[in-house]
Amino acid sequence: MPKPPTASDLLAALVKVPSLTPDGAAAFDVLERVLAAAGFAVERPVFEGPGSEPVENLFAAVGSGEPHLTLAGHVDVVPPGPEASWRYPPFSATVDDGVLYGRGAVDMKGGLAAMVAAVLRYVGAQNTELKGRLSFLITADEEGTAVNGTAKLLEWAAERGERFSAAIVGEPASAEMLGDQIKIGRRGSFSATLAVEGRQGHSAYPERADNPIRGLTQLLHALQSAPLDTGTEHFGPTSLEVVSVDVGNPAWNVIPARAEARFNSRFNDLWTHATLKEEIERRLAAAAADGGLSARTPINWSLSEEPAVSEVFLTCDDALIGVAAAAIKDITGREPTLSTSGGTSDARFIKDYCPVIEFGPVGTTMHQIDECVPLAEIEEASRVYEAILQRYFAR
């Protein structure tokens, strides 16, 4: 049997593919070649729906029965931005002093390459049949709308009878050093647009108009003046940040007819999407009834939420967490902290099917110009994944 590729070799091959969301075909070609050669059954279903682009995904599996460990991730990357600003071309996978530069090097082709290399070594080293089932769930739509990616891939797999015992997502979950933390949950995410309707008029005759900016200012103050909570054991305080305020008015002498603000809340396990929305609407209604800056006329407001809501979740599977923590300690010597920090990931979909944790390289350069990762870190991460496999399937 030929020697399996190293994590560094796989990472270079993947970074050289400009797999901007949702174009993952060429990256899937790289993965299919090595996984099929190792005995994995590889399938690449395409999902689509109204108002969204078709997305190709990859599911690869070997073995049978329980336990069934699935390794998850994505091959799609965000745009590189101005390529002239990069030290090296963003899809050249240039290595300088042991560091590989390129879009996706950290988020998350590095973790994916490390996982695949670890699996190839582990499967190839088995003298007997694998004691369980091992699979990959990989999408090309994590950095995009996430409509035709992991969520539908999980549904497709479940309809075919796949039952997952546990999952590991290879996102760049380490903070400062490889293995210094494992992510065991994520905050929820709720986004909405708050609109206030007024009456357009001449700025020299405000008595003939109704400026919606006054009302919007009052409502935003009500949303942010008091904390939503002070945090919980595993999560920090719930945040609510205004990310945009707009009236679409280029004129200096016109009072606008409508004002809008967009906001995003990252919420902890004291809330669900439904209860948080209820509290936000309660605060808005109370502030609108109070009058305040807009006492002359009622505040005519509306709230339109974005459809991509992520619920908060926390993984409490001590066995899975313990296996990962012990493997990290074996390879790196570090005892990882258990974290729920950061944004969202496809773990938000996987948690509905099985316990899920996240472990991967240090993510300090993700989405940046000159995104890069030390190859020694990728190889060390691959050894951690291999140690996880050894411990998990030996239970």
- Note the helical H segments in the chain: 7-15, 25-37, 109-125, 150-159, 212-224, 273-290, 318-332, 347-350, 375-393
Instruction: Give the model's pLDDT for residue 129.
Output: 75
Q: What is the number of residues in the chain?
A: 395
Q: Supply the pLDDT for residue 291.
A: 64
Give the pLDDT mean for 39-62: 95
Cα distance between residue 135 and residue 80, in whole Å: 30
Tell me how far apart the 2 most distant CA atoms of the chain are, in Å: 86
Pick from 170, 183, 179: nearest CA to 339: 183
Question: 182-210 burial, b for 16+ CB within 10 Å, e for fewer?
Answer: bbbbbbbbbbbebbbebeebeeeeeeebb
Average pLDDT over residues 230-252: 96
- Which residues, at least 6 apart from 343, have a Cβ–Cβ distance to it below 8 Å? 186, 189, 266
Centroid of chain to Cα 218 = 33
Distance CA 377, CA 304 (A): 44
| pLDDT at 307 exceeding the cut of 90 | no
Residue of 78, 51, 79 whose CA lies nearest to 148: 51
At residue 292 the predicted structure's pLDDT band, cuts being 50, 70 and 90, is low
Judge whether residue 360 has pLDDT over 70: yes
Over residues 280-287, the mean pLDDT reads 96
Q: Which CATH architecture has domain 7-186+312-393?
A: 3-Layer(aba) Sandwich (3.40)
Pull the structure tokens for residue 302. 């509306």
Residue 126 in this model has a pLDDT that exceeds 70: no
What's the CATH architecture for 192-305?
A: 2-Layer Sandwich (3.30)
3-state secondary structure of 27: helix
Range of lowest pLDDT (50-59, 277-286, 306-315, 316-325): 306-315
Check for a shared fold between 7-186+312-393 and 192-305: no
Q: Which helix (H) or strand (E) holds 167?
A: strand 166-169
The predicted-structure confidence for 164-197, as pLDDT tens digits, reads as follows 999 999 999 999 999 999 999 999 999 999 999 9
Q: In the chain, what are the domain boundaries?
A: 7-186+312-393, 192-305
* Predicted confidence (pLDDT) at residue 128 exceeds the cutoff of 90: no
Question: Residue 317 and residue 307: Cα distance in Å, rounded?
Answer: 29
- Give the pLDDT band (50/70/90) at residue 51: confident
Q: What is the pLDDT of residue 293?
A: 55
**pLDDT reported for residue 344:** 85
What Cα–Cα distance (Å) separates residue 181 from each residue in 198, 312, 343?
A: 49, 19, 15
Residues 190, 274 contacting (CB under 8 angstroms): no
Q: pLDDT class for 312, splitting at 50, 70, 90?
A: very high
Number of other CB atoms surrounding residue 54 within 10 Å: 11
Sequence-distant (6+) residues with CB within 8 A of 172 are 106, 107, 108, 110, 111, 360, 361, 362, 363, 366
The answer on pLDDT for 96 being more than 70 is yes
What CA–CA distance (Å, rounded) separates 331 from 35?
25
- Whether the predicted pLDDT of 3 surpasses 90: no
CB 57 within 8 A of CB 157: no
* pLDDT at site 137: 98
d(CA 119, CA 178): 19
pLDDT, residue 371, reads 98
Token readout for 365 is 């350069």
Q: What percent of the chain has pLDDT over 70?
A: 97
66 is catalytic: no
Query: How far is the C-alpha of 275 from the C-alpha of 39, rounded, in Å?
Result: 47
DSSP 8-state symbol, 374: E
Which own/partner pairs from 241-250 qualify as long-range (CB within 8 Å, at least 24 positions apart)? 241/265, 245/216, 245/220, 247/212, 247/213
142 is a catalytic site residue: yes
Whole-angstrom distance, CA of residue 80 vs CA of residue 78:
6
pTM: 0.88
Does residue 295 carry a pLDDT above 70? Answer: no
Q: Quote the CA–CA distance of 183 and 171 in Å, as a whole number.
A: 9
Check 76, 171, 260, 346 and give the catalytic one.
Answer: 76
Among 107, 141, 142, 371, the one annotated catalytic: 142
**Res. 395 pLDDT band, cuts 50 70 90:** confident
Block residue for tokens 């070997």: 62
Lowest mean pLDDT across 86-90, 256-260, 270-274, 309-313: 309-313
Q: What is the mean pLDDT of residues 189-218?
A: 95
- The chain-wide mean pLDDT, for the chain, equals 95
Q: pLDDT band at residue 130, thresholds of 50, 70 and 90?
A: confident
